[in-house]
Structure 1
Amino acid sequence: MSELPRAERRRRTERRILDAARELFAERGFERTTIRAVAQSAGVDPALVMQYFGSKQELFSAAVRVTPAPVAGLGPEELVEQVLASLGMKLGEMPQASLAMMRSMLTHPEAAASARAVLSGQIAQIGESMSGEDARLRAALMTTIMLGVTVGHQLLELDELRDVPPEKIARLLRPCLRALAGPDVP
């Protein structure tokens, strides 16, 4: 059996640390997650976590980094459907990174800054796909509607949202999102 190259061992260790961090940040939030707990969960020394990430904030930032689905070049109808397509993920088994950010964004300034950066990127991307002088505002409204639905479902566990299939929620949101996407959407 050949030993893995050092770079591959390093990538695997970093992945274990990030997986453990995502799980703990999602479960406990930023404030109650410690470097020691992350290290224990990942099966490494706490000093190694610090060596890889430098600080708890940098570990958090790496753990919650998400790449939104591209929407550039989509027409208004396709844009609405792309936004609604994300509902299944947002109302289903949500990625630990997203859940960690959501759980922490209202109680920790750095988590809030990370959430603002991610949401601002999504708003900019959606806004660039829309026409009109208020495209960015309409993109912000679309994004925050989806954020509110996600928070209500995932964190507040509202029965009215949790007991409804995502397809029904999408059907009810579609007219609202169409109105925001632009006047040329049927």
Structure 2
Amino acid sequence: MGERVLPRAERRRRTEEKILDAARSLFGELGYERATIRGVARRAEVDPALVMQYFGSKQELFQRSVRMAPAPDGELGPDEVVEHVLGSLGMKLELPEGSLAMLRSMLTHPEAAESARQMLGGQIGRLAEALPGEDARLRATLMTLTLLGITVGHQLLEMEELRGVRQEELARLLRPSLRALTGQDVP
């Protein structure tokens, strides 16, 4: 029997994912400025024109390749918001290549910084919807940036104090401050 031919939509999805994987890898290694469409295409083993057809620009390719898991949708209480934020801690300590590329590039490249602001802004907005009060967006920003700071310290600065600390221990120490930022009384 011959091999089953995949539907066009599935072939397209696989090619897109192959390009995104190559982009995450290259952006993670080189940062935004030094990575090129041709380099991504070479690593993905596709034609550069195909990369442009799928993504339109280097900026769009970068944005798509560094997208993190979205914040939760729907009705969440403050405790669930804290646990969602803490649940993402493991991912931040074992950072995917795309996110590492975002961290490296957002501090040195204006387009990457704008991408980071847009992505973080969306996550902050969804977290803020679950928090009470007029300053909910500010408090959601502080929660998000607390974990971003831990990520930078662990992944880029390689702070010895964060190496080897179990995720559960970090969560235990962070939980009271994050809970305070939800607007709840802290016991």
Q: What amino acid maps onto 1:108 in structure 2?
A: H
Give 1:171's aligned residue. Answer: 172
Give 1:66's aligned residue. Answer: 68
Among 7, 10, 18, the residue aligned to 1:8 = 10
Alpha-carbon spacing, 1:17–1:101, altered in 2? closer, same or farther (3 Å): same
8 Å CA contact 1:104–1:111 kept in 2: the answer is yes
Alignment of 1:91-130 (within 5 A): 91-92=93-94, 94-130=95-131
* Residue 152 (structure 1) shift: 0.9
Paired-residue identity, %: 69
| Count of residue pairs the alignment pairs up | 185
8 Å CA contact 2:93–2:154 kept in 1: the answer is yes
Separation in structure 1 between the aligned mates of residue 63 and residue 123 of structure 2, nearest angstrom: 17
Task: Please give the secondary structure, in 2, of the residue aligned with 1:82.
Answer: helix
* Residue 175 (structure 1) shift: 1.3
Alpha-carbon spacing, 1:53–1:172, altered in 2? closer, same or farther (3 Å): same
Alpha-carbon spacing, 1:140–1:39, altered in 2? closer, same or farther (3 Å): same
Of 168-177 and 47-56, the range deviating more from structure 2: 47-56
* Residue 71 (structure 1) shift: 5.3
Alpha-carbon spacing, 1:11–1:80, altered in 2? closer, same or farther (3 Å): closer
Deviations 1:62-103 (A, max 9, x none): 2123341305422222221221111111112x2233222222
Give 1:40's aligned residue. Answer: 42
5+ residue gaps, structure 1: none
Q: What amino acid maps onto 1:167 in structure 2?
A: E
5+ residue gaps, structure 2: none
Separation in structure 1 between the aligned mates of residue 11 and residue 79 of structure 2, nearest angstrom: 45
- Cα RMSD, aligned residues only: 1.8
* Residue 131 (structure 1) shift: 1.0
8 Å CA contact 2:71–2:127 kept in 1: the answer is no
Task: Please give the secondary structure, in 2, of the residue aligned with 1:60.
Answer: helix
Separation in structure 2 between the aligned mates of residue 72 and residue 9 of structure 1, nearest angstrom: 33
TM-score (norm 1): 0.90
Alpha-carbon spacing, 1:6–1:178, altered in 2? closer, same or farther (3 Å): closer
Q: What amino acid maps onto 1:106 in structure 2?
A: L
TM-score (norm 2): 0.89
Alignment of 1:81-160 (within 5 A): 81-92=83-94, 94-160=95-161
Separation in structure 2 between the aligned mates of residue 81 and residue 154 of structure 1, nearest angstrom: 22
Of 8-17 and 123-132, the range deviating more from structure 2: 8-17
* Residue 185 (structure 1) shift: 4.9
